[in-house]
Amino acid sequence: MLSQETRDKILTEVRKYPQRRTALLPALKLAQVEAGWLPPDVIGEVAELVGVSHASANELATFYSMLHLDHPVDVRVEVCVQLPCALRGADRLLAQLSAGLGMASGETSPDGKLELHRTHECFGSCNRAPMCRLNDEYRENLTPEATEALIEELKSLRGNGRTGV
């Protein structure tokens, strides 16, 4: 069950647009902020708040890459390897992160705090490539030296149990 605060935020979205169904995607994102991911019961609750079928909400939850149907981790590291980044060393960046963190792309750290992802998607940082995202935060111009510093930072997040970035 979502908190009253999140339910209120969702209902504000529902009233905001010319038609209520427009609020479905913003509502799913709000629910995900609270729950960390979108388990089936949360998707259903959002559908009912917005006033659409569960199937309609599932159609969105299963489509968008920023909606997560799996368990949350504190920090999701997404490395862009699309061509503009790759031409400036994105494959090196991914290999360096992978070696430094001891995780292959697609893996979750044993403590469940960190995930490393190779993504084909371009995030619009091609002028400051290569880059990655830590949750919503952009980290750009990741030279080998800057990558080393990032690895240390990520290791310390794992060590002290900080949540979020």
Q: Which residues bind other proteins (CB under 8 A)?
A: 16-19, 21-26, 28-29, 50, 52, 56, 59-60, 63-67, 81-84, 86-92, 95, 120-129, 133, 136, 138
Cβ nearer to other proteins, comparing 124 with 159: 124
Cβ nearer to other proteins, comparing 126 with 155: 126
Report the alpha-carbon angle 121-124-127, nearest 5.
Answer: 125
CB of 146 to other proteins, least distance (A): 16
Written as one letter, the residue type at 23 is: A
CB of 68 to other proteins, least distance (A): 10
CB of 122 to other proteins, least distance (A): 4
Cβ nearer to other proteins, comparing 100 with 155: 100
Ramachandran assignment for 124, one of left (phi > 0), alpha (psi -120 to 50 degrees), beta (any other): left
Cβ nearer to other proteins, comparing 111 with 148: 148
* CA 97 to each of CA 4, 62, 72, 118: distance values in angstroms, whole numbers, following the listed order: 40, 28, 20, 11
Backbone angles phi, psi at 85, to 5 degrees: -70, -40
Strands 132-134 and 75-80: antiparallel
| Dihedral of alpha carbons 144, 148, 153, 155, sign | positive
CB of 158 to other proteins, least distance (A): 24
